[in-house]
Amino acid sequence: MGTITRRDQGRFRSFPVEADDHFFTLCRFSTLASVPRNEYAVPFREAFMAPWPNQPCPHSNCGQQILDLLVEMVANADQARPEFRALVAQSSGGAITCPYCQGAVEYTEDSQSLVISTRSPLRYSRVKMELRARDYGIHKSPPDLAMTPEQSVAEEKLMPGALQAYTYAEDGPP
């Protein structure tokens, strides 16, 4: 392989990125950099630490690998709650359903691990999940206009089996 050099272009510089964690961090940063800030926005530090746990569900009847908690799919009304902010900040204080078994999970005090929660979990919005699936399906080649949330999460998030018979926020309590 050839040598990798840094090219200085005045105030714009580019650096090679090799590790997956660094790549995801840069993706989150570039996405957040384009979002206008207002008094309702999640603070930068919390949004920058979007919860991508990449660990198994702690429920003994599940154990599926959770690559993404999909917190952005929580209903808009619930995103104003302190429980949602705790999830985004990867801290204890808020629970969300496992996308596989629908059991409540939350972060530990050290913000490193998911544990079983006794809290009432936040649930994903059916409307948001269907819109995301449709958008993902439209941009496939060839387009898949009948893409379901289950299919899009399996393909886009690499989480096959997630959202099977899921009870969404709009469906009421499970």
DSSP one-letter string for the chain: -PPP--EEETTEEE----SHHHHHHHHHHHHHHTSPP-TTSPPHHHHHT-----EE-S-TTT--EES---GGGB-GGGGGSHHHHHHHTT-SS--EE-TTT--EEEE-TTSS-EEE--SPPB-B-HHHHHHHHHHHHHTSSS--TT--HHHHHHHHSS-TTTTTT---GGG---
40 has a pLDDT exceeding 50: no
27 has a pLDDT exceeding 70: no
For residue 34, is it within any domain? Answer: no
Q: Can you give the residue range of the structural domain that contains 66? A: 20-29+41-116
90 has a pLDDT exceeding 80: yes
Same domain, 61 and 83: yes
84 has a pLDDT exceeding 90: yes
Band (pLDDT 50/70/90 cuts) for residue 89 is confident
Same domain, 24 and 97: yes
Band (pLDDT 50/70/90 cuts) for residue 18 is low
pLDDT recorded at residue 109: 87
For residue 47, is it within any domain? Answer: yes
Overall domain count for the chain: 2
Q: What's the whole-number mean pLDDT along residues 136-146? A: 91
Same domain, 88 and 134: no
Q: What is the mean pLDDT of the chain?
A: 80
pTM of the model: 0.69
For residue 13, is it within any domain? Answer: no
Same domain, 50 and 73: yes
Same domain, 81 and 109: yes
For residue 139, is it within any domain? Answer: yes
